[in-house]
Structure formats: structure tokens, C-alpha cells
Amino acid sequence: MHPFFTAFFSQTSSDGPAGLGGPFSMPVMLALMFAVFYFVLWRPQSKEKKKLETFRQGMKKGDRIWTQGGLIGTVSQVEDQAVLLDVGAGKIRVLKAFVGGEWKEKGEAAEPAKAEAKK
């Protein structure tokens, strides 16, 4: 073993191993882990899901969208649970649940970010 690590492993207290914070250390650590998972994983995912659901409910004729199946087209009619999508070669009906979001070309997506950065 490397001598550097040996120095860390050989250090002990003269009165035996000390506790790492008493009986409340485990619940505090679990609470911290839960807080990290909430703010890093669950909260952003739920915000994104809510944003997508709002977009799906607010779709209107003329919106350019992409589907989870990889189709890109323009909405030509909106129904309760589906949209009629013009994909260039014809029109297809797609369930709103399979709409992935608004389609933006590469240049279109970069322009709003540049405008916000200038502010």
C-alpha cells in the first residue's frame, strides 16, 4: 500500500473510535440526500413535463412540431386528443401525447439565446 494512504488509515483516537455526530447524523444525511435528489432530478423533470403539457394543450394551427417518432411537420388541425400534421408528403393524425415539442431550426434556437445574453 502507498505510504500516503497508510498514514490516513493508521490514525486512531486514543479513547477509541468516536461517533460521527451522534444519533441524528443518519437522518440528517438522508434528508440531505433527499434534498439533492429533489433539486437536481425531480424538480427540473417535473417543470419540463409541465411545460410540455402546457405546450400540448396550447397547440394551434400553423405550429411547427416534432413527434416522438421523429416526424416533423406543421399542425393543420387540432382536435381533443390528436392533431392533424402536414408532413409535406401528406397529412397524418398524431396523438397529442406523442408530440415532443415545438420544432426550431438550429439558427432559430440560437437567436433567442443571443438576445437574452445581450441584456
Better pLDDT: 112 or 54: 54
pLDDT tens, position by position, 34-59 = 999 999 999 999 999 999 999 999 99
pLDDT of residue 27: 86
Domain-wise residue ranges, the chain: 27-57, 60-119
| pLDDT at residue 15 is higher than 70 | no
The answer to whether domain 60-119 has CATH 2.30.30 is yes
For the sheet with 91-95, list strands across it: 91-95, 82-86, 72-78, 64-67, 99-102
Q: Is the CB of residue 81 less than 8 Å from the CB of residue 96? A: yes
pLDDT of residue 26: 85
Other CB atoms within 10 Å distance of the CB of residue 91: 13
| pLDDT at residue 21 is higher than 70 | no
Q: Is 118 exposed, middle or buried (0-12, 13-18, 19+ CB in 10 A)?
A: exposed
pLDDT of residue 119: 57
| Whole-prediction pTM | 0.60
| pLDDT at residue 68 is higher than 90 | yes
From CA 2, how far away is CA 10, in angstroms rounded?
12
Q: What's the Cα-to-Cα distance from 50 to each of 4, 43, 57, rounded to whole Å?
A: 51, 11, 11
Phi-psi group of 111: left, alpha or beta (phi > 0 → left; psi -120 to 50 → alpha; rest → beta): alpha
Name beta bridge partners: 66.
72, 101
